[in-house]
Amino acid sequence: MKKQSNAMWGGRFTKQPDELVEAFGASVAFDQRLAPYDIAGSIAHITMLAKQGVVTLQESATIVEGLEAIRSEIEAGDFVWEQALEDVHMNIEQKLIERIGPVGGKLHTGRSRNDQVALDLHLFTLDEVATVDTLVMELQTALCDCAEHYFEVLIPGYTHMQRAQPVLFAHHLLAYAWMFARDRERLDGVHQRADLMPLGAGALAGTSFPLDREWVAKELGFTALYENSMDAVSDRDYVIEALSALSLLMMHLSRLAEELILWSSTEFGFIELDDAYTTGSSMMPQKKNPDMAELVRGKTGRVYGHLLGLLTTCKGLPLTYNKDMQEDKEGLFDAIDTVKNAVRIFTGMIATLTVREEAVSLALREDYSAATDVADALVRAGMPFREAHEVVGSMVRYCIEHKKPLTEISASELKQFTELLDVQTIASLTPAALVAARHVRGGTAPAAVREQLRLFREHYLSRE
C-alpha cells in the first residue's frame, strides 16, 4: 500500500507522505462520485489518441475494455477505493494498470489531473443542473395544478405581515411558480457556462501531443472548448454560479416554507399539510408539525454557506491550479443533493395540501381590505386621493373601535365621514368584488389569473 501512495507521481520523492498528510490531502472519499464521468472522459481521450496515432488501435481497445470492466465493478459496488491513491483518477488508473498491465499507463498521455478533474466536474455539473431543472419544473406543475384545483378560493394578501387586499389563492401560488421560472433561467445560464470542454489543457499550458480537442468535445457532448489552457484548468466560475443559482432556489423554497408553516398554524388555519409531510411530538400527542418545511428553511443556510465558502476559497488564487481548488466538490455535491431533495419534498407537499376554505373565508370577513377600494370610489366621485385616504382611514378607525366590518357601516355613520358615497356602494365591495376589480394584466382578477396560468403552462411547462 505504501508503494502505491506515490506510484503515480513519486519519482522525485525519497519519502512516503506522512500518514496525516495522506489522509488530509485525499479526496477519494467524496470525489469517487465522479467515477462515471472520469471513465467516460478517459474512454474519449484514449479513443482520440488512437485516432491521432499517438497510441495503437489495439492499445486503445485494451484500455477501453479495461475501463469498461472497472465501470461495471464500480456500479456493482465491488470496487475498493484506496485512500493512499488520493483521488478518483489515480484509483481508476492504478486499477487499470493492475488489470491490463503497463499499457494502462498510456492512458494519461497528453493529459494532467488538472484538466482531467476539470472535465469530470464540468460533466457532473451539466448532468446535475439538468436534473434540478426537471425537478423544479415538476414543482411548478404541482403549483399550477394546485392553483387550478383551488381556483375559486380567495385568501388575504399581506404586506408587512398585515392583511392588505384579498387575492386568489391561485394568484399567490403562481407568484412562486414565476420565482422558480427565474431559477430555471439561471440554471440554464449555469449550463451554458459549464458547457466548455477543458481536456487538452494539460497541467496549464496544453500539450505537445497532436490532440483533437474538437473531436473529444463532440464525443462528450460539449458544444464549445476553452480557448485558453490556463483558464481551462483554473476556472471554477461555473461551480460558483451553480451554487449561486441553487442558493436563490433555496431562498425561494424557504419563503414558500415560511408561508406553509404560517398557514398551517392554528392561528392562521388556512391549510392542512398531508400527514406524509409532517411529524408528531414525542411528548404532545396533539401536535402535527411542519418539520419538512422547517428543515428546508433551515437547510437554506447550509447551501448559502457552500457558496460563500467557495467564493472565499477562490478569491486570492493565482493562476492556475492550486490544491485549494479541491474544496470545490464537497460543497457542490452537498448543495445539489440538498436542493434535489428539498424540491422533491415541496412538490409532494404542494400536491397533497388541503385548503381550509371556511377558515380562509372567515379571515376575509374580519379584515378591512375594502379600504383601498372605498378610497378609489371617493376618487371616482371627485375627491383627491390623499384626501380620500385620510377619510377612509378615519372610517376604518371608527369601525375598529365599534367592532364592525367596514362594509357594514350604516348610512348615518357614513355621513359623518363623506356625502360622496352611499352604503350600497360600500356593501358591494365584497372580497370577490375586490378581486374581480383587479383585472389589469398580471392582476388577481379571475380572468387575468386564467390567462396567467395559460401563459405559464405554455412557456414553462411545455418541452416543445
DSSP 129-192: HHHHHHHHHHHHHHHHHHHHHTTT-EEEEEETTEEEEEEEHHHHHHHHHHHHHHHHHHHHHHHH
* CA neighbor of 277 nearest in space, from 347, 336, 339, 338: 347
How far is CA 178 from each of CA 190, 421, 435, 449, 460, rounded to the nearest angstrom? Answer: 19, 39, 20, 13, 9
* CA neighbor of 234 nearest in space, from 104, 295, 324, 169: 324
Beta bridge partners of 271: 355
- Which residues fall within 8 angstroms of residue 286, CB to CB, at 6 or more apart? none
* Residues carrying an active site annotation: 160, 281
Contact 120, 38 (CB under 8 A): yes
* CA neighbor of 399 nearest in space, from 368, 431, 426, 375: 368
Contact 167, 444 (CB under 8 A): yes
